[in-house]
């Protein structure tokens, strides 16, 4: 059975919220994904983390958070209940965060060089935008390669085989 790739693409929307960065070491707000223009049922967030130049610790670390907005101007942290808490596939350790809305914590060398994913459920129907936020704590010298992608989908309207 052949599948029409264009039909699949019509059912998804992807935004690179944090551009691929070689060695990021400072807080950053990502590009927003506009939920209203693509009312997808599912929202998946993927963070790709490279090998840190610095040695991550519980006091020198990176947290990747999600924020939401009703106007693309004022953003607030997404409630923890509205984000899945992913686990690292390598050690099955739950992600423990210090900030609300965090879905990835790089606080040890065993937590970098991974792909983190989470799903998001809007807090209310008034939410129009979400974005990723990089939040560094402590002394981070040399940085860490990172990118964050937000993908929306219409899983209830998935394309069918032809």
| pLDDT at site 8 | 54
CA distance 68 to 48: 21
- pTM score above 0.75: yes
Return the closest-CA partner of residue 130 out of 97, 103, 98, 95: 103
**pLDDT tens per residue across span 69-94:** 999 999 999 998 888 765 554 544 55
Q: Which CATH class is domain 5-157?
A: mainly beta
Domains of the chain, by residue range, sit at: 5-157
| pLDDT at site 123 | 76
**pLDDT tens per residue across span 39-63:** 555 688 888 888 888 889 888 889 9
């Amino acid at each position: 059975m052949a599948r029409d790739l264009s039909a699949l693409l019509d059912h998804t929307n992807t935004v690179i919220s944090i551009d691929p960065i070689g060695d990021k070491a400072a807080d950053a707000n990502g590009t927003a994904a506009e939920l209203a223009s693509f009312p997808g049922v599912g929202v998946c967030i993927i963070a790709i983390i490279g090998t840190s130049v610095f040695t991550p610790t519980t006091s020198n670390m990176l947290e990747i958070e999600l924020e939401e907005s009703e106007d693309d101007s004022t953003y607030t942290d997404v409630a923890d209940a509205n984000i899945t808490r992913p686990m690292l596939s390598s050690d099955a350790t739950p992600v423990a965060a210090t900030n609300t809305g965090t879905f990835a914590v790089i606080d040890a060398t065993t937590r970098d060089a991974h792909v983190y994913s989470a799903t998001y459920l809007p807090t209310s129907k008034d939410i129009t935008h979400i974005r990723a936020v990089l939040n560094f704590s402590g002394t981070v010298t040399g940085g860490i390669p990172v990118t964050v992608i937000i993908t929306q989908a219409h899983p209830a309207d998935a394309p069918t085989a032809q």
